[in-house]
Amino acid sequence: MSLGILTSDSYVSLSEYRDQYFRGNRFDQEGLLKRSATLYVGNLSFYTTEEQIHELFSKSGDVKKIVMGLDKVKKTACGFCFVEYYTRGEAEHAMRFINSTRLDDRVIRTDWDTGFKEGRQYGRGKSGGQVRDEYRKDYDAGRGGYGKVVQTF
């Protein structure tokens, strides 16, 4: 189920995902998501560059800032980023037109984010990267091979 938000020129949905580390209640978080001009971008290749992301996302509007997700141990890219626009309308265009497109032979996914805060650029997995990559059982060259848990067996 998605929560619909009627805006002046479009109908935008919030996903069910909520950041467990958000400081505040669910109502506060949803209020920020409804006004945000920041997107979380996931399922990126570990080899995708900030320049490639800027090239793609600037087609929807003026990009204010891009923050690449980093492995907290190795400080290398780990498959996600945050893209901040100057206006909500530009971010809505990106959600509508860029979500589920291909970048570096990967189908990327976008979701609303409450806004980047320092420290959120680091993966939250035990090994330093993203949690989802630790449990992946398939081989994915664009995301570092097999999942970390599978590599230990």
Listed residue (19, 44, 45, 41) closest to 30, CA to CA = 19
pLDDT of residue 12: 61
Q: Where are the beta strands (DSSP E) in the chain?
A: 3-6, 11-14, 38-42, 63-70, 77-85, 102-103, 106-107, 109-113
**pTM (global) more than 0.85:** no
List, in sequence order, every residue forming a beta bridge with 14; answer none if it has no partner: 3
DSSP state of 122: B
The sign one gets for the Cα dihedral 80, 86, 89, 90 is: negative
Amino acid 121 reads Q
What's the confidence (pLDDT) of residue 25? 76
**84 contacts 33 by C-beta, under 8 angstroms:** no
Contacts of 147 (CB under 8 A, 6+ apart): 133, 134, 135, 136, 137
The torsion defined by the Cα of 23, 18, 118 and 129, in degrees rounded to 10, comes to 130
What per-residue confidence (pLDDT) applies to 108? 94
> CB-based burial of residue 90 (10 Å sphere; 0-12 exposed, 13-18 middle, 19+ buried)?
buried
Contacts of 106 (CB under 8 A, 6+ apart): 43, 44, 45, 48, 142
Cα 14 vs. chain centroid, distance in angstroms? 14
- Written as tens digits, the pLDDT of the chain (153 aa) is 334 443 444 446 776 666 666 677 787 778 788 889 999 999 999 999 999 999 999 999 999 999 999 988 888 888 899 999 999 999 999 999 999 999 999 999 999 988 888 877 776 555 555 545 555 555 566 556 555 544 454
